[in-house]
Structure 1
């Protein structure tokens, strides 16, 4: 199943741009706060968050298609990316799984924070050999 419906791609792009602009506004308002980027979480309606996540996962899937790594951003989406072993036929989960909260994922997708920063802060759960998406991010 696709992470976003074709008819929602434009809305998803607009939502991601809105999320990024709101996040950057938050950062500029609190530029003197140390480590503030890790706490950026704009107060936007739930549908904007959902479409931002879905659209950004769609972009990730376009950038690195394949069955080898599953990226999960609950509750709004999951995609399989990168070449590698496909899912186990019994549980449908590939050997490499990365899980992120929506705010963490969107910060990474928008280039607000870096993979290493979020990983070191304990905001990324990654299992498997391919547990670093830094070469694929940011998406915009």
Structure 2
């Protein structure tokens, strides 16, 4: 079983957020923020019916419903790190991200609007 994600230190999150979108942003910032916001989502929306993937950094299963155990889950949300951070912080709306093709969401319960923004 993979290790559970944990929210990052608030000071580290603030520092990484200040660099994201600038020339000084680093891959480590994207990794820290992606894992942090996935951990926050996992705490806010416990369950195993939807898999949220942000490759190559992490994936979590969230939202109550039918538990997924093997193979490709019936409900999947997938996006890149920059889009995930923008949606998680409220800089980009969920519907806008989906409409623009920046978030791919398929299956039941994949509308994460009730849980966003995360920070």
TM-score category, normalised to shorter length: 0.7 to 0.9
Q: RMSD over aligned Cα, in angstroms?
A: 1.9
Tell me, which stretches of 5 or more residues in structure 1 are unaligned?
A: 24-40
Count of aligned residue pairs for this structure pair: 117
Normalised by the size of structure 2, how large is the TM-score?
0.87
Counterpart selection for 2:62 from 53, 69, 81: 81
- Of Structure 1 and Structure 2, the greater helix share is in 1
Determine if the alignment matches structure 1 residue 16 to structure 2 residue 13. Answer: yes
Map of 2:46 onto structure 1: 65
How has the CA–CA distance of structure 1 residues 101 and 15 changed in structure 2, closer, same or farther, with 3 Å as cutoff?
Answer: farther
Tell me, which stretches of 5 or more residues in structure 2 are unaligned?
A: none
Compare CA radii of gyration and give the structure with the larger one.
1
1:47-62 aligned at under 5 Å gives the runs 47-62=28-43
Q: Distance in 2 between matches of 1:47 and 1:20?
A: 11
| 2:17–2:33 CA contact under 8 A, matched in 1 | no
Shift of 1:3: 4.7
Q: Distance in 1 between matches of 2:35 and 2:4?
A: 6
Counterpart selection for 2:22 from 27, 42, 46: 42
How has the CA–CA distance of structure 1 residues 49 and 18 changed in structure 2, closer, same or farther, with 3 Å as cutoff?
Answer: same
Shift of 1:84: 0.9
